[in-house]
Amino acid sequence: MSYTTQMDAARKGIITKEMTIVAEKEKMDVNVLMKKIAEGKVVIPANKNHHSLDPEGVGEGLRTKINVNLGISKDCPNFDSELEKVRMALDMKAEAIMDLSSFGKTEEFRKELIGMSPAMIGTVPIYDAVGFYDKELSDITEKEFLDVVEKHGRDGVDFVTIHAGINKETAAVFKRNKRLTNIVSRGGSLIYAWMELNNKENPFFEYYDELLEICAKYDITISLGDACRPGSINDATDASQIKELMILGELTLRAWEKNVQVMIEGPGHMPLNEIVANMIIEKKLCHGAPFYVLGPLVTDVAPGYDHITSAIGGAIAASYGADFLCYVTPAEHLRLPTIEDMREGIIASKIAAHAADIAKNIPGAISWDYEMSKARQQLNWERMFELAIDPEKARRYRKESSPEHEDSCTMCGKMCSMRNMNKVMEGKNINILREDD
């Protein structure tokens, strides 16, 4: 029995090799996983042409995954530098990489990235369109937009962000309901500008059926982009955001009719107290499809520290239903991130994802923390480093400030509670002011 996509296989009762791998990673019965894929609650982004892929699942009951954004820009077109970032992201076990290249050798970079990456690869095809055709935005035709998606599919891209929800209806709501920061999604703003300049419907909405045919052909997971995501906490949960989310819910059902896997993209900037409601609304309006969030960033006043504002929001969002976190670096809003910015962003996002997995009772999540606590109780520093989310930094901090006594650290010395409690529990004396007996 043949199948076109992972969803098509699941609906036919076929267990694919990708399902088997994901089920083993997630400690989930493969038949349970298959049912979730058939229902659209889990996706396995796995383009048929991505031969180096080590598949991952995204969605209900699975570990929270993280994505790393990188790519070549006009101001920073260093091909080799971006490949170095790719290698770091892979070394740090990011489950996904989005190539957001918008200038120069985009095709060459994308093909090399896909060829070397076991992580799933995503793109935003509209970023590539201007450079690919060497045309101004307004001169690109509807067919040309779709042809770029097809090209990315042939190259092996596993998921594509498509801003199909910013149609004429959504645009009208946006115009009637003024926002502080307007449309901050880069892809969303490009689509909106194209619509306004040409006085036409969004081509990805108007030709959505043709888009789905391309996605089904290569088993590209469509990541329905949030053009109207809030770019400030002032704009969170407003009419434009909710209107677009309603459209995305309708587009989700249309995709599922064609056996195309779907993720939904979400906010953005958002106050802490609105995050839980947004997770509930998204899951309700979009029929349980996996939710992919940027942040949410819980305050607007921390440039240089937005990996922290994002991790706070991401942990809350994922613990209440978000399935996939897009990392944010300290360079957000300021510049293209450096290697070190990337490292900090990945670590912050991994912390948020793991904290959420504990809250969601994902199998095996809390056992990691148990092992760390046991190593701390035993003052087993080497084991602590092995278990650390960032072993390199933990080792460096320990080395940079060496204690007098190896069973302590320079914060507490011989007053270390772990050290002293271990001695007392073993019936030993505690010598704080003099050498041990």
Show binding-site residues.
69, 98, 127, 163, 185-187, 226-229, 265, 269, 292, 333, 409, 412, 416
Among 275, 324, 325, CA closest to 299: 275
Binding residues for [4Fe-4S] cluster: 409, 412, 416
Binding residues for Zn(2+): 269, 333
How far CA 28 is from CA of 20, 53, 314, 338, 421, in Å, comes to 10, 20, 24, 37, 40
Residue 363 has what DSSP assignment?
Answer: T
Q: With left for phi above 0 and alpha for psi between -120 and 50, is residue 430 left, alpha or beta?
A: beta
Question: Tell me, what amino acid is at 40?
Answer: G
Asked if residue 60 lies in contact with residue 41, where contact means CB atoms within 8 angstroms, the answer is: yes
Say how far apart CA 390 and CA 344 lie, in whole Å. Answer: 10
Q: Which two tokens stand for residue 232?
A: 């400030």
The torsion of the CA quartet 366, 369, 375, 381, rounded to 10 degrees, works out to 150
Say how far apart CA 220 and CA 46 lie, in whole Å. Answer: 7
Among 24, 99, 11, CA closest to 56: 24
Query: 277-289: string of b/e by CB count within 10 Å (b at 16+)?
Result: ebbebbbebbbbb
Handedness of CA 140, 107, 231, 272 (dihedral sign): positive
Q: Which two tokens stand for residue 202?
A: 């969004």
Locate the DSSP E strands across 87-204.
Answer: 96-99, 120-123, 159-162
Locate the DSSP E strands across 237-342.
Answer: 262-266, 291-294, 324-326
The torsion of the CA quartet 46, 319, 26, 340, rounded to 10 degrees, works out to 60
Q: Is the bond leading into 267 cis (omega within 30 degrees of zero)?
A: no
